Amino acid sequence: LAKTTQPISMDSYEGQEVNITCSHNNIATNDYITWYQQFPSQGPRFIIQGYKTKVTNEVASLFIPADRKSSTLSLPRVSLSDTAVYYCLVGNSMDTGRRALTFGSGTRLQVQP
């Protein structure tokens, strides 16, 4: 299983940029890196996915170095509503079950006013 390691928690203030790093030293060649966001009492929500270099969408950027052993989720100018748990997953849709769908404990981001 492609195990991921993330910080347990992070604190930030409104308007700051937040970078959450995930380590995945045994990532496989065909694995993608996917980040989810989860608010209390809700299911996780897809944020962004990438394979290498940089991916950007309307809510976040994902930076992946050449060795792909880690990735960084970047949230620009966070607001109070970004307070949530963020999960990093590695896997490939051609894999099944536990190989592709192992969530770690996630990173609890707390944004202060």
Partner 1 sequence: EAGVAQSPRYKIIEKRQSVAFWCNPISGHATLYWYQQILGQGPKLLIQFQNNGVVDDSQLPKDRFSAERLKGVDSTLKIQPAKLEDSAVYLCASSPRTSGGTYEQYFGPGTRLTVT
Residues contributing to the site for partner 1 (CB under 8 A) = 30-32, 34, 36, 41-46, 49, 51, 87, 91-94, 96-98, 100-106
Min separation Cβ 2 and partner 1, Å:
13
Min separation Cβ 95 and partner 1, Å:
9
Min separation Cβ 113 and partner 1, Å:
25
Nearer to partner 1, 8 or 66 (CB): 8
Burial state string for 26-64 with b = 16 or more CB within 10 A and e = fewer than 16? ebeeebbbbbbbbeeeeebeebbebeeeebeeeebbbbb
CA–CA gap between residue 59 and residue 43 (Å, rounded)? 18
Quick one: tokens of 43?
A: 């299911």
Nearer to partner 1, 12 or 49 (CB): 49
Min separation Cβ 74 and partner 1, Å:
19
Quick one: tokens of 24?
A: 């995945």
Nearer to partner 1, 35 or 111 (CB): 35
H or E, element range at 104 = none
> Contact at 8 Å (CB) between 107 and 86?
yes
Nearer to partner 1, 55 or 72 (CB): 55
